[in-house]
Amino acid sequence: MTTLRQDDGHQLSIINAIINQVLGGRADRKLLRRLRTLLLESLAAAAENVAAGLGIDPTVDIASPIAKKYFAERVPKLVGINTFTRRRIRAVLTEEIAAGSPLGRQIRRLRKEFRVMRRGWPGRRGLSRAGSVARTENGIAWGVGQHAQMLEAGVLAEIWITARDLRRRKSHVTMEGQCQPIGKPFVTGAGNLLMHPLDPAGRPAEVINCRCVAAPAPRGCEEARLATYRQRTRYWRTVIAQQQPHERALVRALRIEWLRQEKEMVAAMRKAA
C-alpha cells in the first residue's frame, strides 16, 4: 500500500487538515450536544436525591439557573475532551508518517488509539478514557446538583463521606466524616479547599475519578456527629448506585461519539490517498 503522499511534509499538512475538519469545531459542538442532556439529567437526579432524603420536593432541575451556570462554565473543560483527542491522533499519525508507514498501517494505528480510548488497554485493569471522563464529569454534575439543593433547602451543614473502596485518594481518607457549614469549604488532607466532592473549581488532583459524596446535615454539625460510620457507608452506597446509570449513559455516549470520529477520520484519509 502507499502512504497518503510521498512527501512527509505534504502528508502532514493533509493529516492536519483532516484532523481539523473531522475533530475540530463541528466535533466539539456534536460532543457538547450529546453530553449536555446527560449531565443536566445527572445534576437534577442529585437534587432529587437530596430532596427525597429531606422529605421535600426538589427545587433544582435542568432548567434552574444553577444548572445553566454549571454547564456554561463547564463547556471549556468538555471541549477539552476533543482537544486531547486531536493532540493524541495528530501525534500517532505524525509518528507513523515519519516512520514511512503505508496508509493501511496508519489507519490501523488510528483505530487502535480510538479503541483504547473507548475500551482501555486489553488485559490492563483500570478505567478507559471513556470511563474516566464519564466518572469525573458525572460526579461533578452530581456534586453541583446535591450542593445546590442543600443550599435551596436551607440545610445548615454537610458531611464528607470518603469512597468505600481501595481507589480513594490519600488526601480524602482523612476527610471521612468531616462536617462543614453550608458555604464553608472542606479541607482535604493535602490542604486544598473544596466546596463539595468533585467541586469543579477544585484542583484536578482532588477531583478526577473521585467517588466521594456529601450528605446533608439539616440541623448542623452537632447532628452530623451522631451519624455512625455504618450509616455513612450505607448512604455512600445508595448514592453511588444512583449515580451508576448516569455514568454508564455517559460512557456509551462517549464511545458512540469516538466511533463516529474514527469512521470519519478513516474515510477522509482514504479519500485523500
Strand partners, 119: none
Q: How many domains does the chain have?
A: 2
CA distance linking residue 254 with residue 6, whole number of Å: 35
Judge whether 261 and 27 are in contact, CB under 8 Å: yes
Q: Is 117 in the same domain as 155?
A: no
For residue 121, the model assigns a pLDDT of: 77
Q: Is 140 in the same domain as 164?
A: yes
Q: Is 108 in the same domain as 137?
A: no
For residue 2, the model assigns a pLDDT of: 40
Residue 110 placed within a domain: yes
Q: Is 139 in the same domain as 241?
A: yes
CA distance linking residue 36 with residue 32, whole number of Å: 6
CA distance linking residue 179 with residue 196, whole number of Å: 11
Domain containing 174 equals: 132-245
Residue 35 placed within a domain: yes
Q: Is 32 in the same domain as 117?
A: yes
| Neighbour-count burial for 21-44, b at 16+ CB within 10 Å, e otherwise | ebbeeebbeebbebbeebbbbbbb
For residue 3, the model assigns a pLDDT of: 43
Concatenating the DSSP letter of every residue in 223-266 gives: HHTT--HHHHHHHHHHHHHHHHHHHHHHHHHHHHHHHHHHHHHH
Q: What averages of pLDDT result for each successive group of 10 residues across the chain (273 residues)?
A: 56 93 94 96 98 97 97 94 95 94 96 95 77 97 98 97 91 96 97 97 96 95 86 96 98 97 97 89
Residue type, 79: V
For residue 124, the model assigns a pLDDT of: 66
Residue 3 placed within a domain: no
Residue 2 placed within a domain: no
